[in-house]
């Protein structure tokens, strides 16, 4: 908990600039110029293979020299961050550009902070809402969660070129929606918890409204966006979903907090017996949170039916078959140890959580 949280003020963290659209990448150089003329570009191999030429062109045509180029980020680890920050210092870069999915962008954000430089995010797919946030999730080389690194500032610009994002495999957009669908449920739980416990930053109404806007947009546009992308059509609905994931969900979760859905996700992944992607597990766990909270039946069915239609799991058996002991371990971790659980208004009981998961499995809610 930082000092701001202790005095329960309202705060809102956001990137300074968000640009989304076909060809938005060409704004990179124009907007980056305000931060200097020496760029250090950091990304994953696929992302820079797809977007690298356009990034270079946009920077160079605006008089910016690319002094560093690293396209080998595969995992956001402390070691990689140290190494990239060290070489960045030799290059005397003025700003960092992070390109790709969550791992590359989280790495770039942490490298920029180590170098005390501004960072610009360029997303190339829609599985993550990391682009605009001031948080980096650190893992081990073999993708085991280490810690959340809270950085003191957000990226100075977030650039989402929808032409690039729409051409990425559709599964990324589905996973991104699965993660984003949680932010309204978790944000509302967070708000109730703060009101009851009086122990931290009060969420702004703006952040809660963004969570709600995100949810409404996903429900209204998600299925059409998935269908369109499968048919190679870049429609208005695709752009709406990209905004819901990349902007609304990011600012909603960053300015509220994760709760039971992410706690359960973390517990389930710890068992090693649940194989779904982050967004898939979170979507399932959001249904569990909703049932646990005793939300209205209509609302729960709407959420569950939407998940099913867009291709997100509504039952645990679709993403793994953990043993009874593993399941017990997962719920105990989620209810008692995971840091997100403090954002539930009341104490979560492992036995009750197991019972709710059983009902979700049988579709009885
Ligand atoms: Zn998440």
Q: What is the pLDDT of residue 144?
A: 76
CA of 151 to the centre of ligand 1 (A): 17
Question: Where does the pLDDT of residue 364 fall: very low under 50, low under 70, confident under 90, or very high at 90 and above?
Answer: very high
Alpha carbon distance 51, 103 (integer Å) = 16
Q: What is the pLDDT of residues 333-351, one digit of tens each?
A: 999 999 999 999 999 999 9
Q: What is the pLDDT of residue 3?
A: 54
Three-class DSSP category at 160: strand
Alpha carbon distance 87, 89 (integer Å) = 5
Question: Where does the pLDDT of residue 310 fall: very low under 50, low under 70, confident under 90, or very high at 90 and above?
Answer: very high
Q: Pick the catalytic residue: 179, 228, 239, 338?
A: 179
Reply yes or no on whether 2 is catalytic.
no
C-alpha gyration radius of the chain:
20
Angle in degrees, CA 190, 192, 194, rounded to 5: 70
Q: What is the pLDDT of residue 365?
A: 87
Question: Where does the pLDDT of residue 202 fall: very low under 50, low under 70, confident under 90, or very high at 90 and above?
Answer: confident
DSSP 3-state percent helix, strand, coil across the chain (nearest 5): 60, 15, 30
CA of 295 to the centre of ligand 1 (A): 21
Q: Scan for tokens 């969660």, then name that residue.
A: 145
Q: What is the pLDDT of residues 33-64, one digit of tens each?
A: 999 999 999 999 999 999 999 999 999 999 99
Alpha carbon distance 86, 229 (integer Å) = 40
Residue 235 CA to chain centroid, in angstroms?
23
Question: Where does the pLDDT of residue 2 fall: very low under 50, low under 70, confident under 90, or very high at 90 and above?
Answer: low
Domains of the chain are 15-168 (3.40.50.1970), 182-361 (1.20.1090.10)
Sign for the CA dihedral angle at 159, 160, 162, 165 comes to: positive
Q: Pick the catalytic residue: 94, 228, 239, 265?
A: 265
Question: Where does the pLDDT of residue 267 fall: very low under 50, low under 70, confident under 90, or very high at 90 and above?
Answer: very high
CA of 179 to the centre of ligand 1 (A): 5
CA of 59 to the centre of ligand 1 (A): 31
Q: What is the pLDDT of residue 116?
A: 96
Residue 90 CA to chain centroid, in angstroms?
31
Other Cβ atoms closer than 10 A to 291: 21
Q: What is the pLDDT of residues 63-86, one digit of tens each?
A: 999 999 999 999 999 999 999 999
Q: Scan for tokens 């210092």, then name that residue.
A: 89
Task: Decide: pTM greater than 0.75.
Answer: yes
Q: DSSP assignment, residue 101?
A: S
CA of 53 to the centre of ligand 1 (A): 30
Three-class DSSP category at 285: helix
CA of 310 to the centre of ligand 1 (A): 18
Residue 271's region, left for phi above 0, alpha for psi from -120 to 50, else beta, is alpha
In the structure encoding, which two tokens stand for residue 253, read together? 């979760």
Three-class DSSP category at 66: strand
Q: Pick the catalytic residue: 94, 161, 228, 278?
A: 278
Across residues 119-136, what is the average pLDDT?
A: 96
CB within 5 A of ion ligand 1: which residues? 179
> For the chain, first and last CA: distance in Å?
36
Reply yes or no on whether 278 is catalytic.
yes
Reply yes or no on whether 179 is catalytic.
yes
Report which secondary-structure segment, H or E, holds 20: strand 18-21
């Amino acid at each position: 908990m930082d000092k701001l949280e202790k005095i329960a003020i309202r705060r809102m963290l956001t990137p300074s600039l968000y640009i989304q659209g076909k060809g938005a990448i060409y704004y990179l150089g124009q907007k980056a110029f305000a931060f200097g003329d020496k760029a250090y570009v950091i990304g994953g191999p696929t992302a820079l293979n797809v977007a690298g030429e356009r990034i270079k062109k946009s920077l160079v045509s605006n008089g910016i020299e690319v002094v560093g180029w690293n396209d080998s980020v595969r995992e956001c680890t402390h070691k990689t961050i140290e190494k990239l920050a060290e070489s960045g210092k030799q290059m005397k870069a003025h700003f960092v550009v992070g390109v790709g999915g969550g791992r590359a962008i989280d790495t770039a954000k942490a490298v920029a902070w180590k170098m005390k430089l501004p960072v610009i995010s360029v997303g190339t797919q829609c599985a993550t809402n990391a682009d605009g946030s001031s948080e980096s999730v650190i893992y081990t080389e073999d993708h085991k969660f280490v810690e959340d690194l809270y950085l003191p500032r957000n990226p100075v610009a977030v650039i989402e070129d929808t032409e690039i994002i729409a051409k990425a495999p559709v599964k990324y957009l589905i996973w991104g929606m699965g993660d984003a669908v949680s932010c309204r449920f978790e944000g509302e739980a967070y708000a109730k918890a703060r009101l009851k416990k009086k122990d931290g930053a009060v969420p702004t109404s703006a952040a809660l409204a963004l969570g709600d806007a995100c949810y409404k947009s996903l429900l209204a546009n998600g299925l059409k966006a998935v269908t369109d992308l499968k048919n190679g059509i870049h429609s208005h609905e695709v752009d709406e979903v990209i905004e819901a994931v990349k902007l609304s969900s990011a600012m909603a979760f960053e300015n509220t907090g994760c709760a039971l859905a992410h706690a359960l996700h973390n517990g389930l992944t710890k068992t090693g017996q649940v194989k779904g992607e982050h967004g898939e597990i979170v979507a399932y766990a959001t249904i569990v949170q909703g049932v646990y909270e005793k939300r209205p039946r209509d609302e729960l069915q709407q959420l569950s039916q939407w998940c099913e239609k867009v291709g997100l799991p509504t039952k645990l058996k679709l993403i793994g078959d953990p043993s009874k002991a593993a399941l017990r371990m997962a719920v105990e971790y989620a209810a008692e140890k995971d840091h997100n659980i403090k954002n539930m208004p009341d104490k979560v009981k492992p036995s009750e959580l197991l019972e709710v998961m059983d009902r979700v499995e049988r579709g009885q809610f």
